[in-house]
Structure 1
Amino acid sequence: MSSAGARAPDTQQPSQNKQSLHYIVRSGIAGGTAGCVAKTVVAPLDRVKILFQASNPEFQKYAGTWSGAFRAASQIYADNGVRGLLQGHSATLLRIFPYAAIKFIAYDQVEHILMPTRESQTNGRRFAAGAISGMISVFFTYPLELIRVRMAFSTRAQSTQVPHTFHPSHSPPPHRPSFLAAMSQIYHEGASVPPPSASSASPLAPVSANSIFARLPAVKFYRGFTVTLVGIIPYAGTSFLTWGFLRSSLVPPPDASRPASDRRPSPLADLTFGAVAGAVSQTVSYPFEVVRRRMQVGGLTHPERWMRWGETVRSIWATRGWKGFYVGLSIGYLKIVPMTAVSFTVWQWGKRVLGV
């Protein structure tokens, strides 16, 4: 009796401590680290996928085939080297650490509320916990995501079209926009005098004094936010649902007689569950992602107004039909499957290392 009584508190402690500051901070560190590691692993594929989704004219010839992703990456490498493949990655890391930290913290807390015991776990609650955590993280980190996309969208050819007032003896403007330059470009979009980094591919109309952008310039950093918020529901919900379902179905229930380190799935199991979760969630949510990318880069062609859902969807449909909503899906699989697998695995590993 005494030995059983001594073990009982240990089996309950993790659940009781989930709302403590100690648990929240360490869970956030584990989640943020997991996000950074996972994004770094797939950074070159992420750059190519953004160029495909946003219909960058230089890279449309590569879209639609599995080999196209590697040929596009080869062109980027030939033009700009390794730095080209990692363009926009600094902004990605600035965004992904808080994004992943908030997402995993929120999931832990929502899971604790909705599913305090193994018996209370259902697929509906798993989906709800994932969707809620995804929406919370997107709300707080979306401006960083928009800046990252703009940095990744810029290419060498576009930079040669950029008007500037440099003296011939001066160096031309760099074709790789910095984080601050991309942020400034977004903030000044639609101004009566376009900033030096604005593209001249099409005329840029100034923002009307009555426009929401003129009254609230910060709103420019939320282009595509509504479709992102809606799209994160099936993506994060399905991701956590699949991952949680596989863990509960294929991993034996915890045994209090075994050490705590033996009660969790192995890293290989977490990698497998994460890979399946990534593939399923990517398939379900991909059309939302394509629409979101188009709306995010819409400020480069229509800086004076807000690109709406209907307009963006009609534009994609008119250009490529239903296939347009799945442009870059093959590279999406190449990116999301390993990224999700690594993310879940490093998150669980980090929690073990940090004692949560």
Structure 2
Amino acid sequence: MAIAAATSASTTTLPSSSASRAPSAPVRPSSFFSPSSASSPPQSRLLRARIPLRTPRLSISAAAAAASMSVRTPERSSPPSSFLDRRESGFLHFVKYHGLGNDFILVDNRDSSEPRVTPEQAAKLCDRNFGIGADGVIFAMPGINGTDYTMRIFNSDGSEPEMCGNGVRCFARFIAELENLSGKQRFTVHTGAGLIVPEIQDDGKVTVDMGEPILKASDVPTKLLPNKDHSVVKSELKVDGVTWNVTCVSMGNPHCVTFGAKGEQNLQVDELNLAEIGPNFEHHEMFPARTNTEFVQVFSPSHLKMRVWERGAGATLACGTGACAVVVAAVLEGRAGRSCTVDLPGGPLEIEWREKDNHVYMTGPAEVVFYGSVPI
């Protein structure tokens, strides 16, 4: 898939690209960030898209306009240190990743415990018309409390969630790239939701120990009254005149899971207008910290399909913590077993709620999209 840089934000006519990228073999460019790239001809290095954070307009230099407009992934023999060592003043260097289409701007922030951009700047970077375009900005920071790393994330609206399941898989792959690691790797990561442990598998997928689900209503949090062991399971919630059956789960961040409205046999998730009903769930008075909402269709006890309205990001192609919450809710409602394939708009995740340790494990991909830099 070729990634066209800034095709609509400039009046300059730019050449189209026929180059394509194999998503399974992304590698770090050496010439893009290395000091020697300044002397290279435009055709031999990637385009740098200059995306100002203070003005919502994209400017492209004449030299860059002459360059190829595809974001390429160069040979794996490139020196691994070239990207990491670049510390150009006034620029934010980043790598964009996605987990099943849930996309993030990853920033190397290991030299500081403060994010390199503000929430307001993050929101501008995430803008899909005037910025890079993403569901959030993730910072790889020094570990605390004995962990290897700390992960923080700003959503596309500038808010800061406790954690992000797809984001932590991208985070793990990013760390492996920063540290020039290969093969199976395991990290301990401090997040706003507590300790998270991702493990990169030999096939490149990432399995994440998401910890124990939080079911106590006041800890989710929700104001809905508990109806099963201090939990909210298949409880009624009225949203714009429609009564939905919902189960509330926290995976370090709040989730409201529904398998349909009251009296509905099997929800057809593709027929939902998420843009209309999603915000009404997110901002419902029963959720004091707002909520992520998952709408679920059951195919079998081991196969579920969901669509998600994410708190602070809206409708996204995938939500890892949401998929975990869905399986927990499905087990609690007696609709599924503890090991399920969960289909999301961006692709499937494998979720297991293990009985022996009560932890939820998520396995799925994380892929590089492109590398870039923006002035800040």
TM-score, structure 1 length as denominator? Answer: 0.28
Q: Which has the larger radius of gyration?
A: 1
Q: Write 1 or 2 for the structure with the bigger share of helix.
A: 1
- If asked which structure has higher relative contact order (CA below 8 Å, sep 6+), I would say 1
TM-score, structure 2 length as denominator? Answer: 0.27
